[in-house]
Amino acid sequence: MKGRGAAERHSQVPPGGELLPSAFSTILGRLVNASPGATGAVMADEEGETVDYFAERIDPEELKLAAAYMGILLARVSATTEKVKGGRLRELRLKGDRSQFVCRALGQGYQVTVVLDPVATLPKLARALDQALAELRVEAGGVLD
């Protein structure tokens, strides 16, 4: 089904065999749909492994790879900013010729990465990302605070 990411860990497989969207992929889908120009979003752990995702106009494997690298970058740059007394980094944004990437820390080593078209504007994304992270924390039972 187009527009729905296959959940890696939290989906259920009914008797027909097709993956049902998890609560996490549903939240990520709302994030993408509320952010003009967004093509996909991933929730990943501290090692860059995908927890869940939603891909709309992007290959899921490319999306997950981008999220893994963005999470690694966020962790490494954050470690550096902490060493120089700049505090923990909360968000990392990169803009390329063909895509933009926004990676925000979720807590406990988890992060959410959103991939966008190169001309997408970020104000609506910021609000949608705030909302999605709050929902993900609730869905995770408060362990991401």
Q: How does pLDDT run across 7-30, given as a tens digit for each residue?
A: 333 344 445 555 678 999 999 999
Which domains occur in the chain, in start order?
A: 23-139 (3.30.450.30)
pLDDT tops 60 at residue 45: yes
Look-up: residue for tokens 């994304």? 125
pLDDT, position 7: 33
Kindly state the percentage of the chain with pLDDT values over 70. Answer: 86
Residue 124 phi, psi (nearest 5): -70, -35
Rounded to an integer, the average pLDDT of 120-137 is 94
Rounded to an integer, the average pLDDT of 110-117 is 97
Would you tell me the crossing angle of helices 23-33 and 123-139 to the nearest 10 degrees?
A: 170
pLDDT tops 80 at residue 3: no
| CA neighbor of 72 nearest in space, from 100, 41, 46, 94 | 46
- Tokens standing for 43? 């929730």
